[in-house]
Amino acid sequence: MSDKKTSNQMWGGRFASGPAAIMEAINASISFDRKLYAQDIRGSIAHSEMLAQTGIISAADQEKIAHGLNTILKEIEAGTFEFSTRLEDIHMNIEARLADLIGPAAGRLHTARSRNDQVAVDLRLWVKDECLRVAEALKGLIEALLARAEEHAATVMPGFTHMQAAQPVTFGHHCMAYVEMFARDLSRVRDAIERMDESPLGAAALAGTSFPIDRHKTAKALGFREPMRNSLDSVSDRDFALEFLALAAICATHLSRLAEEIIIWSTPQFGFIRLSDSFSTGSSIMPQKKNPDAAELVRGKTGRVTGHLVGLLTVMKGMPLTYGKDMQEDKESVFDAAETLDLMLAAMTGMVSDMTVNSAAMKKAAGSGHATATDFADWLVRTLGLPFREAHHVTGRAVALAEDKKVGLEKLSLEDLQSINPGITADIFSVLAVQNSVKSRTSFGGTAPSEVRRQIRGWKKRIAKA
């Protein structure tokens, strides 16, 4: 049987002459929706079982259908299945092959079903499976960050605002900030799964069906919590795809921020970390170069993921209920964003686990830029009882004096400091050392090593249960 003849039979008599080549090219989705083959077969088997259990088709026909679909699954996975663009999509390709394998019984499979609810359930299953993969990848990245945080809970480094040295923190504390970010990403994935855990199968084209189907049975068979409650919404909803792209874009943004810091930290000017050859490349002309290409690519791919979110939002914004062919544009964006995010997470987990930390360079930088000025002001408030605004002014004068003398705050003499405020005593020097500054930040969520270790212990328990 030729592709053209098969296509005409699928469409029916109105399209007896076959679609024009340009229509075929714009209409066909098999080049990308073939990714849904496993979900399509899974949904069809569940649908056929329900049809047999409700007496809509015979048990004998259902057995043939299930056997044929499992045969097709093996063919696709073995790479022997022949996909045809003339059959448009994964649904029609599988249905045509099923007819070849089992004959007329194949025609009973589509009873009480439309491609509208069929594609909706296929993509929803695929996105749900991808969310579970992303959740595992995020857990792996969080565990890698926790390991580095524990290793460097007391490693002093500069904390920045406006990319200017602000206050000393620890590298462990810095890693834990990303634990918080990626944990929020993980919670968004979990939330998205909860919202998409409803089955559209059985909504048919848009209005439901007159056949006595059991949508709760197919929902349960496919691992959904329950069926969707409105047939119109069932076939037209793509919120689950949008939400996946949104959480992917936010996660990619977090990955990009960490990638940017890795790029900065690995420069000779900072020298905070060193990436191994596994995540770096050299220059074709400059032999001294070691480029953080993996981090740069993570940073660059973020725009690609965000673009997919904007693209699908734009597709959906003008869609009246229910289904329109525009919605065929949902798949490529979701598939590519998923593949991109998976790679970004794997690369970042590798870089975090693999990087070498230069603790000495971090400690040296932590004392630059008068990073303990806030500790100076806090001491004036705590010890001399100055209002903070007055303490801020006194500290500013001390910083100006240190800059004039081209030394750090801790290098000013007691006489220098008492010339600014006579009440200052030698005790102030105890808070000007970066190590003491860091140790003093014991407030909940602060950078003190004791607090960082407490947060690490808490997150280890949470991730173990996630």
Catalytic residues: 162, 283
Joined together, the tokens standing for residue 398 give 């001390």
With vertex at residue 237, the alpha carbon angle to CA 130 and CA 191, rounded to the nearest 5 degrees, is: 45
DSSP designation for 321: S
Sequence-distant (6+) residues with CB within 8 A of 224 are 197, 198, 199
Sequence-distant (6+) residues with CB within 8 A of 159 are 165, 166, 167, 168, 169, 174, 371, 447
Residue type, 83: F
Q: How far is CA 118 from the centre of its chain?
A: 26
Joined together, the tokens standing for residue 347 give 């690369």
Sequence-distant (6+) residues with CB within 8 A of 296 are 259, 263
Q: What is the length of the chain?
A: 466
Cα–Cα distance measured from residue 100 to residue 78, given in angstroms and rounded to the nearest whole number? 18
CA distances from 402 to 39, 71, 363, 410 (A): 68, 79, 20, 9
The owner of tokens 């009440």 is 423
Cα–Cα distance measured from residue 227 to residue 237, given in angstroms and rounded to the nearest whole number? 13
Exposed (0-12), middle (13-18) or buried (19+): which is 111, by Cβ within 10 Å? Answer: middle
Give the CB-side neighbour count of residue 377, counting CA atoms within 13 A.
18
Cα–Cα distance measured from residue 400 to residue 416, given in angstroms and rounded to the nearest whole number? 12
Element (H, E) at 356: strand 356-357
